[in-house]
Amino acid sequence: MKRTIYPCLWFNNNAAEAANFYCNVFDDAKLLDSNAIVSRIEIGGMTFMMLNGGPKYVMTPAISYFVYCDGEHKIERLYDLLKEGGKVMMPLDKYDWSPRYAWIEDRFGVNWQLDVEAINSPQKIVPNLLFVNSKNSWVHAAREKYTSVFKPSMLLMDMAYPPQAGMPDGSLLFAQFKLNGFIMNAMSSTLQHDYDFSPGNSFVVECDSQEEIDYFWETLGKNGRYDMCGWLADEFGVSWQIVPSMLPQLMSDPEKGPRVIQAFLKMQKFDIQTLLGA
């Protein structure tokens, strides 16, 4: 079975507004479905879940989204639209690593890294994990953990720190890897930052069986933290949601849906049989 992985963005009850904004900003974006709790869109070959979670959590720059643009016109258009009402972290310009690059935090708090660079994949948007402060030497360990948990996986690129950076031997500045077909970036910074990973950005892993749920719950959550409703934070602080792939279908049933919701609100790890019997 093809296992689905996709990001979830936590909004303060304006997820539908954000979904509409992104569908207007990105030429290839489309709305998949929307209700009072969740909106789902597809951009650049990747699904985004947008959750109306309230004010409890906020997104941070520790997780951003690389947008690989195929030309100057596209990157300039996205830059102009995404920065409106937002914050320019790095202006659109030429940098050592790219002829045209920018980093923007948009009006909803989502961080985007725009880059004029080809990517040989239908997935044109790639999540990026930024390891900062005491975690800035952890990129290698995170890449090793994730590629061991998800199968099949493969390493696409590694970039080590130069010796003059003064980082421990083997520390990675950047890594790109593929987890069961899903591409992710990880990078680190030697600068001090006032943010870290947050449940405001998480990754959903859809599972077809209880065996898969048990496996990802245990392996991703080991040495981390287990929360309610299928949420966990791994040992690096990155949040994941381990959910049954059948959950949307169960929740959409007019009669059964409310009972399913009440059942999983009491769970940490999802139990498929309990949901089916609700």
Q: What is the pLDDT of residues 27-61, one digit of tens each?
A: 999 999 888 889 999 998 899 999 999 999 999 99
pTM of the model: 0.94
Tell me, what CATH number does 246's domain have? 3.10.180.10
The stretch 267-272 carries a mean pLDDT of 93
Can you say how many angstroms the Cα of residue 66 is from the centroid of all Cα atoms in its chain?
11
Asked if residue 243 is part of any domain, the answer here is yes
Asked if residue 268 is part of any domain, the answer here is yes
Report the percentage of the chain scoring pLDDT > 70.
Answer: 99
Domain count within the chain? 1
120 half-sphere exposure, CB direction, 13 A CA radius: 1
Host H or E run for residue 273: helix 272-276
Q: Please give the DSSP secondary-structure letter assigned to residue 21.
A: H
Asked if residue 238 is part of any domain, the answer here is yes
Asked if residue 205 is part of any domain, the answer here is yes
Q: Please give the DSSP secondary-structure letter assigned to residue 36.
A: S
- Domain region containing 231: 201-276
Asked if residue 232 is part of any domain, the answer here is yes
- Given pLDDT bands bounded at 50, 70 and 90, which one contains residue 3? low
The token duo for 202 is 């998480």
